Amino acid sequence: MTPESMPPEWAERYSRQILLQEIGGEGQMRLTRASVGVIAGAEATPATLLYLAAAGVGRLRIADDATPATAFALAQAQANNPTITLETLPLDPDHPRPWLAGLDLVIDLNQCWPVLLSACLEAQIPLLTTWITPDGRGWIAGSRNRSDATLPCLACHAPTRTATLATLPAPWLTLWRGLAGTWLATETLKALLAIGDQSIWSHPLSMDPLQSDPRRHPVQKNPACPLCARQRVAVTAPDTTPAELPHTEEQTIDITQEQCPMTFVKVKLKLATMAPGQPLRVRLAAGEPLLNVPRTLRDQGHLVSEPWEEEDGTFGLLVTKAG
């Protein structure tokens, strides 16, 4: 399954993300293939599920907390993007491995990390979680087994909780949970795509929304902890190399019947299936496509010829894919 082989509806739904250089067709396919587990947790759940569904994460597995907020979020996420798969599966805290099977990442919105951490590390499944401390500061953090020596281990670096969530003002708690749900959805997409700042995996982040002061907290490997002291391997981005590289012969694409922005989206999806240095002959219409497509291709580093006019009034370009 390649970006070019996906149905037209797929490219149209995610066209704005495909246009982003950091995502493109390859990144969108990575999201389509991804499976993310979400442990529901009140007000954070709608933000997390809705944003992940809209982004096109192909499979979302939810450990349902049976609250109206989660039920609403599930229904809304499926309605907004019926192409993704949503599944609810009970999570047995004493035996979490069946629930974790096949997942690429887990988001814990209900402070279940104490029973999940060891199993996630054993399975090399990244775990993101959130909590709130008695001083009113909200935290998010991540643990993954394939990381460097400064990986924060939630078992020994989590802030101490000396009060229950019930002691905090209800409006403040709701505010933080909604913010945390959005924040964790963003960090999830960055992790799946291997883009942007990945410091969440080495520095827990905290925020006091009343002060708007996100802070990064460096931690060190604890040699006395049996979890974070274990040997780790370097982080590597998911392998997106096709099993068989395309040949170097010239490829062609006709976008004369497409409208912006699908003109450039179609070209970008075609380039995603090609090898660096491989030429692509593009046939396009006059007007906005002729003005924007060559310019955007050049901006993204591809070698683009000057356009030439065909006998039927359309135009041609020769594009050499950048390395």
| Whole-number pLDDT of residue 3 | 67
Q: Which residues pair with 279 in a beta bridge?
A: 320
Q: Both tokens of residue 27?
A: 């990144």
- What are the backbone angles phi and psi of residue 62, rounded to the nearest 5°? -115, 130
Domain boundary among 156, 190, 216: 216
Residue 94 belongs to some domain of the structure? yes
pTM value is 0.77
For 130-252, where are the alpha helices, taking DSSP H only? Answer: 154-157, 170-193
Residue 2 belongs to some domain of the structure? no
Query: Residue 94 is part of a domain; what is its CATH number?
Result: 3.40.50.720
For residues 70 and 142, state if they share a domain.
yes
| Whole-number pLDDT of residue 85 | 94
For residues 260 and 204, state if they share a domain.
no
Quote the DSSP letter at residue 92.
Answer: -
Domain boundary among 216, 234, 268: 216
Cβ neighbourhood burial of 249 (10 Å; 0-12, 13-18, 19+):
exposed
Give the model confidence (pLDDT) of 51-76 as tens digits: 999 999 999 999 977 788 888 889 99
Residue 234 belongs to some domain of the structure? no
The arithmetic mean of pLDDT across residues 279-303, rounded, is 89
For residues 67 and 189, state if they share a domain.
yes
Expressed as residue numbers, the domain containing 285 is 251-320
Q: Strand runs (DSSP E) across the chain, as ranges? A: 35-39, 59-63, 85-88, 105-108, 127-132, 138-143, 205-207, 215-216, 251-254, 279-284, 303-304, 308-309, 315-320
Residue 9 belongs to some domain of the structure? no
Query: Residue 264 is part of a domain; what is its CATH number?
Result: 3.30.110.40
Residue 196 belongs to some domain of the structure? yes
The answer to whether 13 touches 56, Cβ cutoff 8 Å, is yes
Residue 27 belongs to some domain of the structure? no
Residue 301 belongs to some domain of the structure? yes
How many independent structural domains does the chain possess? 2
Residue 274 belongs to some domain of the structure? yes
| Whole-number pLDDT of residue 205 | 84
Q: Mean pLDDT check: name the lowest of 166-175, 190-199, 238-247, 280-289.
A: 238-247
For residues 116 and 193, state if they share a domain.
yes
Distance CA 292, CA 219 (A): 47
Distance CA 16, CA 25 (A): 11
pLDDT > 90 fraction of the chain, expressed in percent and rounded? 26
